[in-house]
Chain A
Amino acid sequence: MTTSASATGTTSGAGTPAPTSTASTATRVLGAATLVGIALLVVFGVFVSPPDKELGETIRILYMHVPTVSVAYLAFIVTAVGSAMYLWKRTEFWDLLAASSAEIGVVFFGLTILNGMLWGKITWGVFWRWEPRLTTTAVLFLTYIGYLAVRAVPASPRTRATRCAVVGLLAVVNIPIVHKAVDWWRGLHQERTIFGTLKPEIQGTQAFAAYLGLGVFLLLFAWLLIHRFRVAFLAERAAESGLEGAIAERRQEAGQ
């Protein structure tokens, strides 16, 4: 999560200009690559890819649904790794990385549920059914909402980080349960179509669009994670300086 400084920033103690935003050369390159990827994904996913012989036109939702859930899983795994590393190293980096990744994971998992509901409406005629995959998905989503809620509970940074690390480690256990729900229990949700199966059911342009979607969303995740981490770091510094300012003010009042 290192960065080069913005050319327009004020000078910091190190003698180099301090950045005036969370952007850096690396994030700008990453952001540009992501935008190009999104444009390609729209071309292939909407216009080039033919309808599937079984899924029909709804395969176009798969190009959003699979990448968003893959990125959400990855984000939650990063949160778990960050949580474990925090409990071991007790450094701010791992705590902020875990928290930043959890928030992004919640956004992408929310989108996964939304896309799934739209797909369900076309395929099943209803937006939601309390079948195994969807039920475990809802539980996982609520668990990470809980993680963010724990993060918002007022506490010292160390206490908050420890609580969140424990929740982050417990929550990740849900992921294999959600992933394997279609194998373990009979439900409405279809089985795995491309990822995690040795015989992918889609090939050719359809498979290309699906893998392109995954690649683009991974780039997007990396870009968002770097920015979100830097925002979290700045928020910590702003909170510290605000606290120091308040203490100085109280001391001044007491001295008068």
Chain B
Amino acid sequence: MSSTGYIVAAWVVTFAVVAGYALWVLARGRRLSREVAPEERRWMTAGSRGRE
């Protein structure tokens, strides 16, 4: 492979991996939102919750 090929591969792989990870996070968030009761979907409460 020429140096141009490696350079293109670096850019494509970087953005592909980041996009794939971002989509996975978003999809997981949507799925979990359906599983959790509406009153529990309050991220602000995380600050005060202790680990018991």
Contacts and interface: CB of A to CB of B under 8 A. Distances in A.
Contacts of B13: 111, 114-115
Interface residues of A, number: 60
A112 B15 CA distance: 12
B36 A227 contact: no
Given A111-B13, A224-B21, A19 B33 contact: yes
Contacts of A38: 15
A228 B28 CA distance: 9
Place the interface of chain B in its size category: 35 or more
A46 B41 contact: no
Interface in A219-253: 220, 223-224, 227-231, 233-235, 237-238, 241
A119 B10 contact: yes
Interface in A3-40: 3, 9-14, 18-23, 38
Contact of A118 (B9, B15, B33, B51): B9
Interface of A: 1-3, 9-14, 18-23, 38, 42, 45-46, 56-58, 60-61, 64-65, 68, 86, 90-93, 95-96, 107, 110-111, 114-115, 118-119, 121-122, 157-158, 161, 220, 223-224, 227-231, 233-235, 237-238, 241
B46 A10 contact: no
B47 A91 contact: yes
A144 B48 CA distance: 27
Given A92-B50, A121-B6, A122-B6, A234 B26 contact: no
